Amino acid sequence: MRKLWWTLATLVVGAVLAVGPARAQNVSCTGTLPAGSYTNVTVPAGQFCTVNNAVTVAGNVTVGTGATLYVPAANFVVNGTILGTKAANVDFLLPVTIGANISLTGTTNYIQIETSFIGGALSVINSTASAINVLKNNVAASVLFRDNTTSGAGSDVISGNTIGGSLLCTGNAPAPTDSGIPNVVGGNKVGQCTGL
């Protein structure tokens, strides 16, 4: 009987240990993303995702067509890449920490990335936005702005960033400005951003 009891107890403890703590998961964000740790996060097409809690993403964040990723107040850490293809808005009002890259292609409304750390490269390509503001960030690799169209003078601002690689700008209308606060660039300033 005692042997049977010990066998059952061992099985129960083993089952509990096997389950362990709550595991990170892949999630679709269609409202406010709860605090926690996730494997990957997707903002589905046409949806609005707000991050105003402490969130850590082990992998990547993908922002779908016509979707919005909005970070008004949060400790938001993404160990991988933020990837937006034809997103509506990517708006970081407070610092975020990105371990790899931010890659935004074809954004249709608004981009604001401010006082954040980007462990890789930042690229903004083929976007038709009301404004693109990249302000006071620390980017470990290069920054690429190519073929973006914004609403007018002063609507495309790359200002006060510290960039480990190069700052490359071409085909943007209007050309980006630095609003009087130059960028510190470890590599070269190229094309439309030569004077920034």
Cβ neighbors of 83 (< 8 A, separation 6 or more) are 60, 61, 62, 63, 103
Q: Which long-range contacts (CB under 8 A, 24 or more apart) does 186-192 make?
A: 187/142, 187/163, 190/166, 192/145
Give the pLDDT band (50/70/90) at residue 24. Answer: low
Q: Is residue 1 over pLDDT 50?
A: no
Burial of 12 (0-12, 13-18, 19+ CB in 10 A): exposed
Q: Map residue 7 onto helix, strand or coil.
A: helix
pTM for this one?
0.85
Q: Is residue 2 over pLDDT 80?
A: no
Q: How many C-alpha atoms does 134 have within 13 Å on its Cβ side? A: 25
Read off the pLDDT of residues 108-163 as tens digits, 9 standing for 90 and up: 999 999 999 999 999 999 999 999 999 999 999 999 999 999 987 778 999 999 99
Q: Is residue 17 over pLDDT 80?
A: no
Strands 89-92 and 117-118, bridge-based pairing:
unpaired
How far apart are the C-alpha atoms of 33 and 55, rounded to whole Å? 8
Query: What are the backbone dihedrals phi and psi of residue 141, each rounded to the nearest 5 degrees, phi first?
Result: -105, -140
How far apart are the C-alpha atoms of 104 and 89, rounded to whole Å? 10
